Amino acid sequence: MQPSPPWFLLPAILVGFPVFFVGIWTLVCAIIAATAGWGAMAARYPAPPGFQGTGLPSGWANRVGVASYRGVMHFEAAPEGLVIRVSRLFPFHPALLVPWRAISLTRGGGLFSAGSMAVEGGSTFSLNGDAFDAIERALAGGGAPTARK
């Protein structure tokens, strides 16, 4: 007859796995934020708590440096600048409020990019067509979202 497993094995697994998963998730998010330069941008361009802009199409395929933010990055336009948010599931990514004067856009880019957005003193974003076009229109309109042409 085989010996039975210790009584604490199942509770240890039930408690240990979520703790392990959250720890790994937090570590991965910290690494992604560090490689994207998010911390430096957050120190330079913090969004005030509760600050809201007008939502812009964000699309799905956006990158910051080498880090992919596929489907979790959201853009908002405000007269003060461009608000950039990442889903709350990703710690170490506070919302940014980048002044319009600190943004430069370059159309064209790569196979999966409509263009890039460089943030002064920050990172370069590779943007899909929807996001690039929406930010370009908002930049041209002084931060006010304009109707699509």
Determine the distance from the C-alpha atom of residue 93 to the mean position of all C-alpha atoms in its chain, rounded to a whole number.
7
Buried b (16+ CB within 10 A) or exposed e, 84-110: bbbeeebebbbbbbbebebbebeeebe
Residue 79's pLDDT band (boundaries 50, 70, 90)? very high
Q: Is 53 helix (H, G, I), strand (E, B) or coil?
A: coil
pLDDT tens per residue, range 2-33:
777 787 778 888 888 888 888 898 888 888 88
Of 100, 101, 55, 56, nearest to 81 by C-alpha is 100
Q: What is the predicted pLDDT for the residue at 89? A: 87
Strand partners, 77: 54, 82
Mean pLDDT for the chain overall:
86
pLDDT tens per residue, range 42-71:
999 999 999 999 999 987 768 888 888 888
pLDDT at 148 over 70: no
- Listed by start position, the domains of the chain span 1-149
In single-letter form, the type of residue at position 102 comes to A
Torsion of CA 25, 97, 85, 18, to 10 degrees: 20
